[in-house]
């Protein structure tokens, strides 16, 4: 039976997890410090100085232990310095070439290479493979890195040749060093090249994402601005008619009381002031306000409506070579200009989407005139929307069509059609609904 005084308490699971978490945080901190040091501009100088000091110390110790002559000791120390110190003072190419040459001479003259020299050689080859600023637009930098891609593995080739030639006795220090260098030198060079390629791929990916995000934002802004401009043209027409009719009634109605004439004058002035303000806001909205007069003149044309659908379908047939039909149900009626414009633009965008996502597919455009609404259905016999992707995520055309339908007081739905293909179903009021 154990006494309570002799029982050794054991740390519970929570204490063990806390200890492991603390050790993990310390390890992560050291890794982060190491990455920051490697990325600093002073890292090569510090590494070259420390490795040079270690190489000289190792060379002197070896010379003293083997009874080497002073001349041989001086030569060995010079080669030890040549295999490490260039890392601190020379650029990636010059340092790698100098260190590789000195390493080969050290193996040939003294059948050895210091540990610091081995580390400096691997660092130099890795640095050469990764030399240059990733993502730089400088042609000189890109050309130098292109040359480094071939030079770094080429500098590792002498060690492969020495290993294949069987330089050094089997099991001797020289033989082990040659085999080790033959394996590690190409690996260090290729690792540097792979790191540079990975860094450039990351930079390019971020640039593509930034460009895509900017394009999405600009496309959405342009679509909303285009809808606003088109609606402005329709509303401006109505406001102009109010001003003209108020002025005509004031001048052409005989025996009108002075108060009535004054009210009509105020109506005309208010309409003209509203029209001026709307045109001023339009000038702020337009993205092409500084285009030349030719472009401005080209923009001034009547807004399209349902009467131009046949021409639109003819253009679609000529562009895609596929069949496109217009089906009209019910007696055609004159609709509000804003409704006709919205219907025309929805059909136009639907035909564009069909050409883009279902090339060669036949398209049916159906107009169903009812008493209080216009039913608009556009269907193609293409493959339909992808099963793994929501329909709403397919670009900016569908959200733009929904915005047009909503601006006219209607609604729009999209999805797979029965029997295959893609269907756009819109319901628009016969008159523009005014928000109260």
Task: Look up the pTM and report it.
Answer: 0.42
pLDDT at residue number 374? 92
Give the integer Cα–Cα distance in Å for 232 and 287: 15
pLDDT at residue number 166? 61
Phi and psi at 427, nearest 5°, equal -125, 120
pLDDT at residue number 282? 66
pLDDT at residue number 153? 73
- Annotate 342-388 with DSSP letters as a single string: HHHHHHHHHHHHHHHHSTT--EEEEEEE-SSEEEEEEEE-S--S-TT
Give the integer Cα–Cα distance in Å for 363 and 421: 10
CB contact at 8 A, 386 and 415: no
pLDDT tens across 234-291, in order? 676 677 778 878 888 888 888 888 888 888 888 888 888 887 777 776 666 654 444 4
Sign of torsion over alpha carbons 74, 76, 78, 81: negative
pLDDT at residue number 393? 40
Closest by alpha carbon to 147, among 169, 124, 128? 128
Q: Where are the beta strands (DSSP E) in 253-299?
A: none
Compute the C-alpha angle 145/147/153, nearest 5°: 100
Q: Are strands 363-369 and 324-329 parallel, antiparallel or unpaired?
A: parallel
pLDDT at residue number 2? 40
pLDDT at residue number 391? 44
Give the integer Cα–Cα distance in Å for 210 and 47: 37
pLDDT at residue number 137? 44
Residues of the chain with pLDDT under 70: 1-41, 132-149, 163, 165-175, 227-234, 236-237, 281-302, 387-396, 432-436
Q: 295: exposed, middle or buried (C-beta count within 10 Å: 0-12, 13-18, 19+)?
A: exposed
pLDDT at residue number 247? 82
């Amino acid at each position: 039976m154990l006494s309570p005084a002799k029982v050794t308490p054991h740390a519970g699971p929570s204490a063990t997890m806390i200890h492991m978490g603390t050790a993990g945080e310390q390890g992560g901190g050291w890794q982060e410090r190491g990455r920051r040091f490697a990325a600093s501009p002073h890292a090569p100088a510090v590494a070259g100085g420390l490795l040079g000091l270690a190489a000289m110390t190792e060379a002197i110790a070896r010379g003293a232990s083997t009874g080497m002559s002073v001349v041989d000791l001086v030569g060995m120390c010079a080669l030890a310095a040549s295999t490490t110190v260039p890392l601190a003072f020379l650029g990636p190419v010059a340092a790698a070439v100098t260190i590789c040459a000195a390493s080969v001479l050290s193996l040939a003259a003294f059948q050895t290479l210091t540990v610091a020299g081995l580390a400096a050689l691997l660092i130099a080859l890795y640095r050469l493979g990764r030399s240059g600023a990733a993502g730089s637009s400088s042609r000189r930098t890109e050309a130098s890195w292109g040359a480094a891609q071939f030079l770094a593995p080429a500098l590792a080739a002498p060690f492969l040749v020495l290993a294949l030639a069987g330089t050094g006795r089997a099991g001797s220090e020289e033989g082990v060093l040659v085999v080790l260098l033959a394996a590690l030198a190409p690996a260090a060079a290729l690792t540097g090249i792979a790191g540079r390629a990975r860094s450039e791929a990351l930079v390019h990916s971020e640039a593509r994402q930034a460009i895509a995000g900017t394009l999405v934002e600009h496309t959405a802004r342009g679509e909303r601005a285009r809808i606003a401009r088109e609606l402005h043209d329709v509303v401006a027409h109505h406001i102009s008619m109010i001003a003209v009719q108020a002025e005509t009634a004031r001048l052409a109605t005989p025996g009108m009381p002075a108060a009535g004439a004054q009210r009509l004058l105020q109506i005309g002035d208010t309409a003209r002031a509203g029209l001026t303000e709307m045109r001023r806001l339009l000038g702020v909205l337009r993205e092409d306000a500084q285009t030349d007069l030719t472009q401005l003149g080209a923009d001034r044309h009547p807004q399209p409506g349902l009467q131009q659908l046949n021409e639109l379908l003819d253009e679609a047939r000529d562009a895609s070579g596929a069949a496109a039909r217009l089906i009209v149900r019910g007696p055609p009626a004159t609709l509000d200009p804003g409704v006709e414009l919205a219907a025309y633009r929805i059909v136009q965008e639907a035909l564009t989407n069909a050409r883009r996502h279902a090339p060669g597919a036949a398209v049916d455009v159906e107009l169903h005139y009812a008493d209080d609404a216009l039913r608009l259905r556009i269907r193609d016999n293409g493959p339909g929307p992808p099963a793994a992707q929501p329909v709403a995520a397919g670009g900016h055309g569908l959200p733009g069509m929904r915005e047009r339908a909503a601006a006219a007081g209607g609604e729009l739905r999209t999805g797979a059609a029965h029997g295959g293909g893609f269907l756009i179903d819109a319901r628009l009021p016969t008159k523009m609904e005014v928000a109260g």
